[in-house]
Amino acid sequence: MQIFVEEEALSYSLTREVITKYPYQVISSYQDFKWEGLPDEALLTLGKRRLFLLNFKGEFIKSCPGTKNYLCCGYIIFHIGEGCPLDCSYCILQSYLNRPGLKVWGNLLEEGFPSLVHFLREREKKKTFTRVGTGEFTDSLALESITGISEKLINFWYEEDPFAVLELKTKVAPSEDFFIKLKATPKVIFAWSVNTERVIKEEEKGTASLDARLKSALMASKQGFSVAFHFDPLIYYEEADREYPQVLEKILSLIPTRNIAWISFGTLRFPKALKEIAQKRFPKSKIYSYEFIEGLDLKMRYFIDVRKKIYRSLAHYVKAFQREVTFYFCMESPRIWEEVLEVPIKYNEELRELLDQAGKRLCYS
């Protein structure tokens, strides 16, 4: 991993922590950094081996970008950086970000953390519960050994005990030593994106195996943290409706349900611009060869009958465990809720309340 530091970010404490441990180069700015004259797809690959510590001048607190005309859960993002060293063929970041590279905000501790503290305290004054996560624009743990950001957030949650939960989404599998050194609280949720072994092997380059993720989840739950699982994206292939239920069954048989905050489901969806660059970067991938339709949010999606087929393959386990675990669809229509689970979730507010209630139980456990 090559590390580059903006001149303006040199004095910040997170930057100093990193550069005392690793060699680095100083650059005038990320905007002026000279990339090699390579095609975009090659620069994206190269950028996964380059970490930039920057002076971030944007907003650290963001609402989940969600998508129009489909149900959104009202998630709050603590924006710690952009880009991911893992390399999934379906990753929306391939088209979402304008420039390559892994970016971490050097000023996160001096400016980002105070913004988060202020935001949470203002919400708490209004008795408003909050679900916060860091895994929207990056993997929450993939760079943890370098930055230590998640450990700092966990310490804050443990010591300050906000009226909020923190979700750390990942596709890596920390060892037991990682969890043992942390201050455990059920208000911190380690969340794994999960898939079938076939999809992980073929489409999720550099990520941990399914068994490794679940082993790590079990260790986190035993240590006193909450855990969550996101079947997102569910990818259609000939054996999908047989293999995805096997993954869900494995989770529900291995992890105590009292420690599971929630489990989500969402089928493959992507902006039009993603397909071309993803096919150049992953020419062996077959996931873009199926038929898609433009959704109400202008993203490409499977036809609704395909989506329902995948979801219905999981419905047996969902209905069997729905009194013990909170299940939800991510960025789906009310029609899917009604026709697959017979649950009348029609508005964003209803979905938000469903997950807020699940999160509040962790606060009082």
Could you report the per-residue pLDDT of 128-180, keeping only the tens digit for each?
A: 999 999 988 999 999 999 999 999 999 999 999 999 999 999 999 999 999 99
Q: Which domain holds residue 110?
A: 57-363
Is 359 a member of any domain?
Answer: yes
**Residue 111 is encoded by which pair of tokens?**
């400016």
Alpha-carbon gap, residue 110 to 95, rounded angstroms? 30
Q: Do strands 300-301 and 293-294 pair parallel, antiparallel, or not at all (unpaired)? A: antiparallel
Is 277 a member of any domain?
Answer: yes
Cα 157 to its chain centre, rounded Å, is 19
Residue 280 CB coordination number (10 Å) = 14
Q: Do strands 130-133 and 76-78 pair parallel, antiparallel, or not at all (unpaired)? A: parallel
- In this predicted structure, what is the pLDDT of residue 72? 87
Is 39 a member of any domain?
Answer: no
- In this predicted structure, what is the pLDDT of residue 364? 81
Alpha-carbon gap, residue 219 to 235, rounded angstroms? 28
- In this predicted structure, what is the pLDDT of residue 65? 75
CB 14 within 8 A of CB 113: no
Alpha-carbon gap, residue 15 to 259, rounded angstroms? 35
Is 240 a member of any domain?
Answer: yes
End-to-end Cα distance, the chain:
41
- In this predicted structure, what is the pLDDT of residue 95? 85
CATH of residue 63's domain is 3.80.30.30
- In this predicted structure, what is the pLDDT of residue 265? 98
- In this predicted structure, what is the pLDDT of residue 52? 98
Contacts 24+ apart (CB under 8 A), 5-10: 5/52, 5/53, 5/106, 6/30, 6/52, 6/53, 6/54, 6/55, 6/106, 8/55, 9/53, 9/54, 9/55, 9/106, 9/107, 10/106
Is 37 a member of any domain?
Answer: no
- In this predicted structure, what is the pLDDT of residue 98? 67
Q: Pseudo-torsion of CA 20, 22, 27, 31, nearest 10°?
A: -110
pLDDT along the chain (365 residues), means of 10: 97 98 97 91 94 97 82 92 97 83 98 97 95 95 98 97 97 97 97 98 98 98 98 97 98 97 97 94 95 93 97 96 95 94 92 95 84
Residue 207 is classified by DSSP as: P
Is 81 a member of any domain?
Answer: yes
The model's pTM: 0.96
Q: Say which amino acid occupies 209.
A: S
Q: Based on the structure, what is the number of domains in the chain? A: 1
Is 326 a member of any domain?
Answer: yes
pLDDT in tens, 202-242: 999 999 999 999 999 999 999 999 999 999 999 999 999 99
* 11 backbone dihedrals φ, ψ, rounded to 5°: -85, -10
Is 19 a member of any domain?
Answer: no
- In this predicted structure, what is the pLDDT of residue 194? 98
Alpha-carbon gap, residue 237 to 241, rounded angstroms? 8
Residue 108 is classified by DSSP as: I
Alpha-carbon gap, residue 314 to 195, rounded angstroms? 13
